Structure 1
Amino acid sequence: MKAHIGMVVRAGLAMLLTLVLVPTPGVAQSTTSLTARSFSDLSDDTDASTDNSAVSTPGSLSSMLQRLKCLQGLNPSGNSGSVTLKVQKANYRLYNPSTDSFDTVSMRSYNGCPSGPTISIKPGATLKVSLRNTLGANDPPSNCPDNPDHSTPHCYNNTNLHTHGFHVSPSGNADNVLLTVLPGKSQDYSFKLPADHPSGTFWYHAHLHGSTAIDVASGMAGVLIVRGSRQAKPGMTNGGADIDTILRRRVLFLSLPLREHVMLFQQIEYGCFSNATSDVPLADPTTAEWVCPQGSVGEIRGYNNQLGFIPDPRPGHTGQLNSTWIISGRYTQINGVVQPVFPSAIGYVPAGDVRRLRMVHGGNRDTINVKIVRANLSALGLADSGSLSAAQVNTATNAAASALARAHTKPSQTTTLDSLCSGEVVKQLEFAEDGITMSSMIEKDVNSMNPGYRSDVLVAFPRPGLYCILDEAADASATINFRTNSTKVKDRRLLSLARVGPGVNMPNTTVGNHSKYWQYIRDQLVAANPTLAQPAKSDLQSLSLRAFAPTTPVDGTVANVVEKQFQIVPQPFPAPVLFLISGKAYKPDEIGYTGVLGNIDQWNVSASALATHVFHIHTNPFRIMDIKNGAGKSIFNGNGGCIPDEGADTQYCNLQGVTRDTLFLKAGYTLQMRTVYQDFTGDFVMHCHILDHEDRGMMENVRIVSPATAYLRGVTAPITAMTKDAGRWFAKLAGRDETKVALAASLCTSKDYAKR
């Protein structure tokens, strides 16, 4: 009965929201360009569906239906269920801010959409996925030999599926990235989540070595949401509850879930070409940025001139080796839309309304530094009373879009953004990283996200107006596009314009060292959870989340210390650069490290001084124990911050003790982490999540065995070694192939031992 009442209330609120989103009569509306750039929410809840349906789509009814189809979540109940992902080519349009027009692109996709559908699942449930590869044969066939070089990208139309961050089996037809799904073939996957799997934000993407980057850079990625319902119990401090149960809002006498928005960031590095066989994107002869003449179709055709580093042809960058992403002039998109208007071109977020943003970095070409600031309307020649009406927000949105559209060069765009996006910084309260709830909420001005990252934050806009959601500028050494002879600065970009309408203005009050945003969001959560059990209720007063933060049991004895270094090694021209882990390129038939189920291992993972990388390991997350800089000194100051040596780069500062599965490796730095191998044996991988690095060889197989298997191997290893030595000695005496003799002797010995 209660569930039914809740559904009725939510439906009524959804209808009200639809009415709110109807354009105000007599008010000038957004341009066609802005309407086509309305934010497309990938959340699969009813609120997001209502928002998406309220947005008018330029074009025919079929284009509107296609848009809504691409925003339809799969398995929104979260119960055990089956879904289908069809791998196919898709044609759609992407806004190009450099030309203020839309480019047509043809990309590999899931279900024909710019981004994969959001899929929900509950702890303890089983998600079955049928992956159908309908891409054509690999063309040219020479790109897909029978025995490919695994340090060279290959077989672009072969694929598979990875559930990034899920703690599930890596074997069989579960999260097994060693499977291959050929064109014209299908693969049925089954992901059984443990009953205690943490609720949170995860994602899925293609993960076949050799074609991972080209698939993900085409848009083959989607969001996975684990929705939990475990309530905090009296006395609970060990992370047994789900954060979803307290992220609520008071509406009259009801307590309802906070509004959420799913934001999947992607970098689609498309180019247009002079003919059907060229792999060199057309470029402006003056700026060297990539161009798509009218009537052309953008594609991703390869790695050498897309998805890589090349000598920079741009003026002022002579002698630099820069990412093709930077050279291309392309822009990060959100949910398949470049520079969307949030929550839509005609809608508003009410001031003071607390929203949950599920942000996922599903790209592989750039670091994203998310920053939210109020727009300075005086830069547009408009007055700002501090609390704008709906009509004034419309005027400001159109004026801002027009000013940005006139700025066709990067310098002029930067100048426009610097003057327009210069108001108050809106704090983000981050409570989960990589889908795992942290022990307390952290205030952030800038939220640095690298490929594979997830960040869950709470945001409330303080008063009505126009806001900029930025990809903030940074020193290049703090980004994935750093190399020793690359450009030194990442420029500032606009991710989205946010429209905030009348609501509840945020009081300008603070508590201790915390901002008014911390104070306001804390008060909203406390009011919405009056019956929360102790000590979780008292903890909430300080935004401590002990009852909701899963524990990683790594405080026991460390079994092994594993040393790994990610290395880029230049070779004499014309040999390609080598992408290695501890001196070795990936080989599918080699196991780089074997761990034992139940053991705690410490991994010390570093990046050589030449370039930055992103470490990711499958199946089991890790707890960050320490991070050491190039001088071998800990970057942590012991008080939850960084030592002065870190300067303006604060992305590491709150990470000591945090549990993650993906982490940026700054050049010369060493990550010290601990992990425990829980629940599953089998083979999985660890690799660089700059996915073109992985496809070029920066990956390694990891095997987890049972304690019994480890014991038997320990016993038989000396016997096997002696047998091999004896085999070689006899072979030399007999002049025979020593490898075959040793193998035969080893098999004989193993059989004899087994009989014992």
Structure 2
Amino acid sequence: MLFAALPCRIAILHVSVRPMRRMLLLPAVALFLCTPPGVEQHASAQSSERIVVAPPTALTQRPRTGTVSSPFFAGTVTAAGGEARIEFKIDYSNATIYNPETNKNDPVRLRSYRDLHETAAPAIPFVAPTIEVAPGETVRVTLKNDLPSSDASCPASLPDINVPHCFNRTNLHAHGLWVSPTGNSDNVLLSIAPSVSFEYEYNISIEHPAGTFWYHPHLHGSTALQVSSGMAGFLIVRGSRLPSVQTGGDVDTLLKGADGLPFTERLVLLQQIQYACRDASGAVQETATGKYVCQPGQVGEIEGYDQFGPTTWPKSGRFTTIDGQVAPVFTGAQVGRIERWRIAHAGVRDTVQLQFKRMRPGAPDFASLDPTQQLNWIEQNCIGARLPQFGFASDGLTRAKISERDTTVLQPGYREDLLMVFPEAGDYCVLDDMAGPSGTVNATTKIRKFLARVNVAMGQAVGADAKAFLQAELISAANRTMPETIRQKVRDDLANDMGLFSFVPHPDVADSEVKGRQTLQLKIDVSSGLKFFVDGKAYDATRIDRTLPLGSVEEWTLTSGISPPVGHPFHIHVNPFQIVKILDSGGNDVSSAGESNDPQYANLKGVWKDTLFVKPGYQVVIRTRYRRYIGDFVLHCHILDHEDQGMMQNVRIAVPNGAGGVLTNHH
């Protein structure tokens, strides 16, 4: 009896999980936490309490009756054409973040999104509630800014808009949603001051793709500071549309088990919360080796842009969090049970190269080791070949074919939907692999990091070929779920290298459609101080940099400056784009096979996205349609401190005038 020999206590955890293919809200769970001899009590508490807990679901009111065909929705929901109401407040929240450097919890005070009518403070308040909606719904999000009105960063007059400022003002961006950018829709040109409430209204088209999206603040001058504080959450559009001979459907309708329920789902929110403590002079407090440090009694905060920059994240000693926790444990997995991992990179300052490996049986707890031992732990305990990952959607948009890989590269703003199959019982390492400078947002060599552990129980045998197992399971799912008129096509596509052609939300952009061309360069200028430019200019709120005709289709060529050689993730609002080709510095198209020393561009040809990393010296060619919506919005670098300091443009989509131009007024 192992536990009988250990000092134990009972901890009450309120857990939200998604086992057995549906989301369940469980009552409080009692855990027996036992401390091995020689280990302090706080270390045991860390290990036991750092179980991955799915972000809370936003409290949503749907005043009309009806149903949406998805078991994930809780309670009464509205049918297409109905309304979903959500009310958030923004305020400071006090919590803790586990610090492997000290094997203790660091107290932090961070800005956060919270449900306005929550009955109890969440355990992890800097992971925002998940918004779940359906195509055809009108989604109303009330945002109440409860941050302090006293704000030294917000002077009455600002000489340069590209100097970070007004850290307590905010707004809301529905990243990746295909909705209007104007009025009280996805309008990032609004500013919501402290004590002000504002209601956003997203009219989600009945044609809107189902998929994984996210939301975060987007007020120029404070975006990076607020997002890095943890102000980010999933925005999931859940679909129930079956494909037909004439129209595509939602891949959600296919991804179901023999019991008719959706595959087990994991929401994985990746964040870099770069909190720091400051000394008496206001400088970030560091150890002799340059790592951030908080003394007993101090509280970590994010209150200045000296906490950002290409060297600050690696030297800070902070770890990428998963759903708000450092080095946590995923529980509930079973051998042979297909899981859907919805992953969003909601961080600001690191590139994540996601990998899975078997963990050596009997490996010591990573969190119980000192920093020097942690560096060697991965090599000693994460063993064997990398597990295959099966990517079927990028930035929320279903791919034409499932992409098999052993590494998924996530830049800030990216989302990836993976199907995972664990082949044997035991523990698995979730890793962030090393990478060279040209492929990372910090433009520095990154070391391998441990992100999490997956605990896998016995289950259905998989065999030696995970791809063949998954392929057979999906074909079986098609037999059960697809209409008879389309069933054979879906089966044939899956049998032919796991095609998903009946679920792609946008048709390919043909050469004959292209009506115009755009070029764009993202660049840091060091010739006259540190400046952040798009096409040689810093952001000007009064300037419209591009005017684009509604209904047109254009091809864009994107580049990043080579002096200094820094890459940038390009992001544009409203309309997604399709990748045509990615040319390396030698003119070779690497969008299919990728590169031997960098996996991030492999299998991207023809894929639809809304954010894409542009390596220095490369040319990225994309095509996009300007559909449905007019108005002013932005494109920018999704290294958000770059955006706050000027690497952004205003874009306008306008109604054509019938003579080759666009209307410039209403008459």
- TM > 0.5: yes
Q: Matches of 1:608 and 1:591 in 2, distance apart? A: 22
Structure 2 unaligned blocks of 5 or more: 34-41, 61-72, 115-120
Q: In the alignment, does 2:262 pair up with 1:257?
A: yes
Q: In the alignment, does 2:472 pair up with 1:536?
A: no
Q: How many residues align?
A: 616
- 8 A contact 1:123–1:194 mirrored in 2: yes
Aligned to 1:612: 567
Q: In the alignment, does 2:344 pair up with 1:360?
A: yes
1:239-295 Cα offsets, whole Å, 9 max, x none, are x20000010111xxx3211110100100000001223x61x221111x211111121
Output aligned runs, 1:195-344, within 5 Å.
195-233=206-244, 235-236=245-246, 240-250=248-258, 254-275=259-280, 278=282, 280-285=283-288, 287-303=289-305, 305-309=306-310, 323-343=311-331
Please report how far the alpha carbon of residue 376 of structure 1 lies from its aligned counterpart in structure 2 after TM superposition.
2.2
- 8 A contact 1:39–1:337 mirrored in 2: no
1:284 counterpart letter in structure 2: T
User: Which has the larger displacement, 662-671 or 517-526?
Assistant: 517-526
- 8 A contact 1:87–1:108 mirrored in 2: yes
1:527-566 Cα offsets, whole Å, 9 max, x none, are 2332422311322223210010112452233222111100
Q: Tell me, what secondary structure is at the counterpart of 2:430?
A: strand
- 8 A contact 1:94–1:105 mirrored in 2: yes
Aligned to 1:662: 611
Please report how far the alpha carbon of residue 49 of structure 1 lies from its aligned counterpart in structure 2 after TM superposition.
3.3
Inter-CA distance 298–340: structure 2 relative to 1 (3 Å threshold): same
Q: Matches of 2:642 and 2:5 in 1, distance apart? A: 45
Output aligned runs, 1:136-535, within 5 Å.
136-140=148-152, 143-233=154-244, 235-236=245-246, 240-250=248-258, 254-275=259-280, 278=282, 280-285=283-288, 287-303=289-305, 305-309=306-310, 323-343=311-331, 348-377=332-361, 396=362, 399-401=363-365, 403-409=366-372, 412-482=373-443, 487=444, 489-508=445-464, 516-531=465-480, 532=482, 533-535=487-489
Please report how far the alpha carbon of residue 632 of structure 1 lies from its aligned counterpart in structure 2 after TM superposition.
3.5
Q: Matches of 2:133 and 2:423 in 1, distance apart? A: 34
1:161-196 Cα offsets, whole Å, 9 max, x none, are 000000000010000000100011111000011111
- 8 A contact 1:163–1:204 mirrored in 2: yes
TM-score by length of structure 1 reads 0.77
Please report how far the alpha carbon of residue 137 of structure 1 lies from its aligned counterpart in structure 2 after TM superposition.
1.9
Tell me which protein shows more helix as a share of its residues.
1
Please report how far the alpha carbon of residue 617 of structure 1 lies from its aligned counterpart in structure 2 after TM superposition.
0.2
Aligned to 1:87: 90
Structure 1 unaligned blocks of 5 or more: 1-24, 310-322, 378-395, 509-515, 717-749
Q: Matches of 1:30 and 1:526 in 2, distance apart? A: 49
Equivalent in 577, 594, 599 of residue 622 of structure 1:
577
Please report how far the alpha carbon of residue 405 of structure 1 lies from its aligned counterpart in structure 2 after TM superposition.
2.6
Inter-CA distance 45–599: structure 2 relative to 1 (3 Å threshold): farther
Q: Matches of 1:220 and 1:57 in 2, distance apart? A: 32
1:458 counterpart letter in structure 2: L
Q: Matches of 1:268 and 1:33 in 2, distance apart? A: 30
Q: Matches of 1:81 and 1:535 in 2, distance apart? A: 36
1:35-70 Cα offsets, whole Å, 9 max, x none, are 89x99768699844346854749999xxx9xx9996
Inter-CA distance 713–33: structure 2 relative to 1 (3 Å threshold): farther
- 8 A contact 1:44–1:74 mirrored in 2: no
Q: Matches of 2:345 and 2:293 in 1, distance apart? A: 25
1:219 counterpart letter in structure 2: G
Inter-CA distance 300–167: structure 2 relative to 1 (3 Å threshold): same
Q: Tell me, what secondary structure is at the counterpart of 1:707?
A: coil
RMSD after superposition = 2.9
- 8 A contact 1:123–1:196 mirrored in 2: yes
Q: Tell me, what secondary structure is at the counterpart of 2:375?
A: helix
1:540 counterpart letter in structure 2: L
Aligned to 2:67: none
Q: Matches of 2:198 and 2:186 in 1, distance apart? A: 12
Inter-CA distance 106–295: structure 2 relative to 1 (3 Å threshold): same
- 8 A contact 1:596–1:710 mirrored in 2: no
Inter-CA distance 189–589: structure 2 relative to 1 (3 Å threshold): same
Q: Matches of 2:639 and 2:411 in 1, distance apart? A: 9
Inter-CA distance 361–90: structure 2 relative to 1 (3 Å threshold): same
Q: In the alignment, does 2:553 pair up with 1:600?
A: yes
Q: Matches of 1:204 and 1:365 in 2, distance apart? A: 17
2:334 counterpart letter in structure 1: P
Q: What percentage of residue pairs aligned between the two structures are identical?
A: 38
Aligned to 2:24: 49
Q: Matches of 1:571 and 1:32 in 2, distance apart? A: 62
Please report how far the alpha carbon of residue 711 of structure 1 lies from its aligned counterpart in structure 2 after TM superposition.
5.2
